[in-house]
Each structure stands twice: as structure tokens, then as C-alpha cells.
Amino acid sequence: MTRLSALLVIAAMAALIPMALDTNGQTAIGFAFVGFPLVGLAILVYGYQRWREGAFSERSRSGDDRTA
């Protein structure tokens, strides 16, 4: 899951860098319609992974889960 999320982040950044270097219609479309969904997906995948690890559970938040 971490690897998938990291791959998505790299792909999203690959859509951002050309736009930042030369903003034109093509790079802006890549940034808005490819990069943004990839960033969203990367965060969702990472959030899901953290959720499966119990990062958002009550026990984890209260600091009782010391075995995780």
C-alpha cells in the first residue's frame, strides 16, 4: 500500500513539474485533470492503509495501543 501510494505521488508530481516550468494549456490540463486525481488517490490509499493499521481508532488515539 505504501508503495502504491508513493508511486501515485511520483506520478502526480510528474504532472505538476512541467506545469510549473512552463504553464500552457497542455501542461495545465495534465496538472488539473491528471495530477489532481492522482494526488487525491494517493492520499486515499495512504489514509486507507493507516486506517487498516488502526491509526484512527480510539485505542490508538488514546495511546493505549502500544503493540501496534
Partner 1 sequence: MDASEIGPLFVPPWAGHGLGWMSWLPIGLAALAIGIALVAIVRGRLAPPIATLGLVVLPLGAYALGSMLMLEESKGTEFCGSCHVMGPLVRSLKANDGSLASIHYAKGAVPTQEACYVCHSGYGIWGTFDAKMAGVGHMIRTVTGRYETPIRLAGTFDIQSCLGCHAAAESFRKVEEHQPLDVQQALLSGEMGCTGDCHDVAHPEEALMGGDGAGR
Footprint on this chain of partner 1 (rule: CB under 8 A): 2-3, 5-7, 9-10, 12-13, 16-17, 19-21, 23-26, 28-29, 31-33, 35-36, 39, 42-43, 46-47, 50, 55
**Which of 28, 58 has the CB closer to partner 1?**
28
Nearest to 4 by CA among 34, 33, 47: 47
Which CB sits closer to partner 1, 7 or 59?
Answer: 7
